Amino acid sequence: MIVVIEGISSAGKSTRASQFVPAVVDEVTGLVPPEDIAAAAQYYGDRNSERWLRGLELERTHAFVCFDTDPLKIHYTWCLWQIGKVPRNVWLANVEASREQIAKKHLGFADRIAFLEPSEDVIRRQKVSDQTRQRRNFETHVRLGEPLRRWYVLLESLAPGRLIFNAHQIQDLKPRFLRTDRYSLELFDALISAADRPAG
């Protein structure tokens, strides 16, 4: 079973994920992708696929694995589009790259997604108290909180029972059953169709 801990920067994802063994907490950050939009999307799609495949190896050994941040990270460029930071075609390039990986079963939907959403005051205090990370573009990430929640509300509406909202208040995050839609292109396409509209 695969569990994802999700939320904006400083929400406590790494701390919460590290409570589980095994955990994959090495998010794809600090790397320089190609400048071309399609090539950059493929680059990140490949890196996210590598995380997913590493998680599958751990799952085979331990039956359970926890990710800090969703390997299926198309929500990130979608959220940036929603707040006007990138154009729609950047998100769609990431959608295409991710869909290819799902078709190969090199990327997929987690069985359970625990969405951390502490208050903005708590997030800002946690950012200040964590001296191990620079957290560049923190103010932008704070703005991503609302569209990020909308993204996962859409997913939950299409595949009920996957999401735990306000997960920072809940102790037991493990799913009680293995879902059968991990590599569902039908679910993926439905999610993209539902999300493919500007903020309004």
Please check whether residue 129 lies inside any domain of the structure: yes
pLDDT: is 32 or 24 the higher one?
Answer: 24
The pTM (predicted TM-score) of the whole model is 0.85
Counting the structural domains of the chain, the total is 1
Element (H, E) at 133: none
Distance from the Cα of residue 165 to its chain's centroid? 14
Residues 6+ apart with CB under 8 A from 90: 37, 41, 77, 80, 81
Domain assignment of residue 28, yes or no: yes
Residue 18 lies in a domain: yes
Full residue range of the structural domain in which residue 126 is found: 2-195
How many beta carbons lie within 10 A of that of residue 52, not counting itself? 22
User: What is the predicted pLDDT for the residue at 20?
Assistant: 76
User: What distances in angstroms separate CA 107 from CA 50, 52, 118, one per listed residue?
Assistant: 8, 6, 28
pLDDT, greater one: 22 or 185 = 185
Query: Is 181 among the domain residues?
Result: yes
- DSSP state string for 63-112: S-EEEES-SSTHHHHHHHHHTTSS-HHHHHHHHHHHHHHHHTTSS---SE
Per DSSP, the residues of 22-46 read SEE---S-S----SSHHHHHHHHHH
Lowest mean pLDDT among 32-36, 57-61, 179-183: 32-36
30-39, 148-157, 170-179: which is most confident: 148-157
In the numeric block, the tokens 């919460």 are attached to 16
Percent of the chain with pLDDT over 90: 56
Q: Which token pair is 92?
A: 């769609």
Q: What is the CATH number of the domain that holds 148?
A: 3.40.50.300
pLDDT-based confidence at residue 14 (cuts at 50, 70, 90): confident
Provide the pLDDT for residue 11: 72
Q: What is the mean pLDDT of residues 102-110?
A: 97
Residue 158 lies in a domain: yes
pLDDT, greater one: 184 or 11: 184
User: For residue 200, is it within any domain?
Assistant: no
Query: pLDDT value at position 18?
Result: 77
Q: What is the pLDDT of residue 138?
A: 72
163 strand-pairing partners: 113
What's the CA gap between 2 and 132, in Å, rounded?
27
Residues 118-147 have pLDDT tens digits of 666 776 776 666 656 655 677 887 888 899
Q: Which residue did the predictor score with more confidence, 172 or 152?
A: 152
Considering the domain boundaries, does residue 136 fall inside one? yes
pLDDT value at 30 more than 60:
no
The predicted structure's pLDDT at residue 63: 87
